[in-house]
Structure formats: structure tokens, C-alpha cells
Amino acid sequence: EQFYFKYCSTFDSTEEGNIGPVAEALLREIGVTKAIVCPAFPANGRTVYQGHLFVGDTLLHESSMRNHPITPMTDSDIRRWLGHQSRGAVSHISHRTVTRGADAIAHALAAAPDGLVVCDAVADSDLRAIGRAAKDMALITGGSALAMGLPENFRATGQIEDSKTDFEARPGPALVLAGSCSAATNAQVARYRQARPAFAIDGAALLAGYPVLEYADAFAREYHEKAPLIYSTITPDAVANSRAQADFGAASAAIEELMAGLALRARKRGVTRLVVAGGETSGAVVEALSLGAMAVGPDVAPGVPLLSAGGVGFALKSGNFGDEDFFEKALRMMEENA
């Protein structure tokens, strides 16, 4: 039995948590002393080298993640960042060791002090090697890409057979919700607005008590058959300027609640395809729709598969994932796979 604690490949968190505290709580609950930490996702340009997280060729704290509205990432050193969050030791396995293969990684893991062990990874081959080395570990933590090395361990022992999916999407009305302020989502919104109806959420009006949910829902109903977009995206620079305002956190929470309400209303009126941009927004939508489990379909972009539950197709993405045509591609793929 193996537990996997998945977090974003940009390690979204603050100096207080929650990645370190959750990982340490899991260690205590499971009754083990060590866990791997590896957010790397090379296919999306997220790599860990010398304990530092990169986005493309840019250190994390110099990327647009420094302006994240909820978890601004101001330090690229994962070891140091975890040190703020964690009570126990934080150690490191270098890329030089990782390139020597699974046995070398396993030896380094055994020699590491109890606590959290950050592993370098700059390629998928590194992640597979780490996965083989972790075959006997009860707890692994990382981005979704690290999991690619784990199924072979279970196949080798006969615990799993070839994978299958119960993914099922249906053609029909669609809605796109964008709550992320990332550079990628900004570009996706700008492109989609050129050809589809779009409604911008006014955060100030929402906080002032105006019935913005009713306005947005009326817009979505009016363009029910045209896959409308409802968005609250602003530029990363605007986020940086807005964060100092006292009501910024309240506005973010109110927008997440509004997006969740829109998704719930859309589902009730028969929307069968739902695209959501933004990690917090996606979480709010999933919670509002009471989705306990989802079937996994083909990838729209690396790290972003189509999902289905209750006859509805979903594409739920972290803000910075996907090309500019992500929204259009996700909707098209839901139709093609129906």
C-alpha cells in the first residue's frame, strides 16, 4: 500500500504551509519516518535542480508565480521553503545521484535523516528512476508527473494489470469558467474572447453587494448554446498591485464562491461540458458539485486530462497550464471522445 500526496508543480504554498505540515501529518498518521518531495514536471517546464525549482529556464521566484494572488512564491529553494513550513529535517538528493539510477537513489534515501527528502529531477527519466527507488516507501509526495514511475512497481509484483478508464463525455452545452490570474490563463481568455461570448466578473461590485452571480448566470443562460466564458482574470502585475488592498483576500474568496455557484446552476440546466481554469476555482467547483471521484480521459495538455463524472465532461486546470487554445481544444476533445 502506498499513499501519494499530490500538489502543484509550482509548489504553491506559503511559509506557513500547507505542503510541509500536510506531509508531516501524513508521516505521523501512516507511521513512517521519511517521504520524498519532488514537484518536478519536465513536460511542463517544471524542473528541480540543486534543490531549486525552475519554470522553464527561470527560477520560480522570478517567474509569474511571484505574483500569485493566494500563494506568492518568493523563494525557489524548495529545501529552504520547506524548512519554514516543517518541524523536522529537510534533506536533499542531488541530480548527480539521481542520474546514477534507482539503486543509488534508494541508497541515498536510506542514508537521509528522518523527515522530508527533496529530490532533483530535470527529465522524465529522472522521475521514473525515483519511482523505482521509492517502491517500498509508504508515502510519496510530488506533482502529478512523479506518479508516472509508480505503476510499473505494482505491475512487477502482479498487483495491477493493464489500465482501463471509464471516461465518458457527452456532446452538449458548455461553459468555461476562468478564475486564475496567471499569464497562461490571461492569454487563453484573450484568445477565447475573440470568437465566443464572454462576461467579466467585477470583484468590487461583488464585494459591494451587487447581484453579480445573477448577472453572470443570466449571461450564461442567454448564450447557453455558444459555450460562453465567465472570467475574473486580471494581469499578474495588477495582482501584485491589488494584493496590498485589505479586501483582496475577501474578493478572491467571493469570486471562488461565485464560480462554484455558476457551475452548480449550469449543471442543473443541462450543461455537459465544463472547462475551469485556476486551481482554487477548480477546487471550489468540484466541492460545489460534490464530485467524490472522476474517471480520467485523454490529456488536453501535459498534466491536464479530461475528466468525467455523472455524464459531464470536465477539464480542470492549474492556471499556468495549457497553450493559448486550451479552452477550444478541451471542448473539442470532449465532443470527439463522446
Residues 41-72: tens digit of each pLDDT:
999 999 999 999 999 999 999 998 998 888 99
Higher pLDDT, 281 or 163: 281
Whether pLDDT at 164 is above 80: no
Whether pLDDT at 29 is above 70: yes
| pLDDT given at position 238 | 65
Domain span(s) for CATH 3.40.980.20 in the chain: 174-336
High-pLDDT (> 90) share of the chain, %: 81
Whether pLDDT at 246 is above 60: no
Domain 3-156: homologous superfamily in CATH = Putative sugar-binding, N-terminal domain (3.40.50.10840)
174-336: CATH class: alpha beta
Calculate mean pLDDT across residues 274-296.
Answer: 95
Residue 140 and residue 2: Cα distance in Å, rounded? 8
Question: Range with the lowest mean pLDDT among 79-93, 105-119, 160-174, 203-217?
Answer: 160-174
| pLDDT given at position 219 | 99
pTM of the prediction?
Answer: 0.83
| pLDDT given at position 242 | 62
Residue 164 CB neighbour total at 10 angstroms: 7
Residue 11 and residue 143: Cα distance in Å, rounded? 8
Residue 285 contacts residue 259 (beta carbons within 8 Å):
yes
Nearest to 38 by CA among 100, 99, 107, 127: 127
List the strands of the sheet with 115-119, edge to edge: 3-6, 139-142, 34-38, 115-119, 89-93
| pLDDT given at position 234 | 78
The total number of residues written for the chain in this structure: 338
| pLDDT given at position 111 | 98
Task: Supply the mean pLDDT for the chain.
Answer: 94
| pLDDT given at position 241 | 62
Q: How confident is the model at residue 233 (pLDDT cuts 50, 70, 90)?
A: confident
Calculate mean pLDDT across residues 146-158.
Answer: 91
Calculate mean pLDDT across residues 209-218.
Answer: 97
List the strands of the sheet with 58-59, edge to edge: 46-49, 52-55, 58-59
Calculate mean pLDDT across residues 220-248.
Answer: 80
Report the relative pairing of strands 229-231 and 174-178 from DSSP bridges: parallel
Calculate mean pLDDT across residues 170-185.
Answer: 93
How many Å separate Cα 244 from the centre of its chain? 25
| pLDDT given at position 135 | 96
Q: How confident is the model at residue 1 (pLDDT cuts 50, 70, 90)?
A: confident
Whether pLDDT at 186 is above 90: yes
Domain span(s) for CATH 3.40.50.10840 in the chain: 3-156
Calculate mean pLDDT across residues 263-277.
Answer: 97
| pLDDT given at position 21 | 98
